[in-house]
């Protein structure tokens, strides 16, 4: 009988421990904040106190990983192999650089196609923000999963 209670106690203890590990909480993401600077949204009366060591550590981390690429998303705006494709891809590249000065624009040639993509987005939600802004002007735009540059 003691063995039975001992086995039952161990089984209940194991079930409780396994159950304690199932309490994962995922915070919802406010999509209204995607792509925006949170400090500008908070207003001019908010001050942020940050030590120089934290700022320097972040800068060192970014510099040390600048050559790395990570898996992410871009919005492919142009993809064509026609006789005017090179000129159109150059024009679209320049236009996007003017419209979105803080966002990287990539133009490439992969025989026989010229491609123009925009962004280095870590999540598909971030890419959707730019995609929705561009789909009226570029109806053939689409989101692609690609190796992107490390965030700067």
What is the per-residue pLDDT for 29?
A: 53
Per-residue pLDDT of the chain (152 residues; tens, 9 = 90+): 666 666 766 766 665 555 544 444 545 555 555 666 666 677 777 777 778 888 888 888 878 877 777 899 999 999 999 899 999 999 999 999 999 988 999 999 998 999 999 999 989 998 999 999 999 999 999 999 998 887 66
CATH, domain range 71-149:
3.30.70.1070
Tokens for 135?
């789909």
Instruction: Determine the distance from the C-alpha atom of residue 142 to the mean position of all C-alpha atoms in its chain, rounded to a whole number.
Output: 15
Residue boundaries of the structural domains of the chain: 71-149
CA distance 13 to 79: 59
What is the per-residue pLDDT for 9?
A: 62
pTM over cut 0.75: no
Nearest to 77 by CA among 151, 1, 131: 131
**3-state SS class at 80:** strand
- Beginning with the edge strand found earlier in the chain, give each strand of the sheet holding 105-110 in spatial order: 105-110, 113-121, 69-80, 142-149
């Amino acid at each position: 009988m003691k063995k039975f209670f001992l086995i039952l106690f161990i089984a209940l203890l194991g079930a409780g421990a396994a159950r304690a590990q199932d309490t994962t909480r995922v915070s919802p993401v406010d999509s209204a904040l995607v792509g925006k600077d949170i400090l500008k949204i908070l207003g001019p009366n908010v001050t942020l106190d940050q030590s120089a060591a934290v700022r320097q550590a972040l800068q060192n981390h970014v510099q040390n990983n600048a050559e790395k690429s990570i898996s992410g998303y871009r919005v492919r705006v142009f993809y064509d192999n026609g006789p005017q494709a090179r000129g159109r891809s150059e024009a679209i590249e320049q236009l996007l650089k003017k419209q979105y000065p803080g966002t990287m624009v990539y133009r490439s040639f992969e025989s026989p196609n010229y491609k123009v993509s925009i962004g280095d987005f870590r999540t598909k939600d971030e890419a959707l923000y730019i995609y929705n802004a561009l789909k009226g002007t570029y109806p053939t735009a689409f989101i692609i999963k690609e190796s992107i540059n490390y965030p700067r």
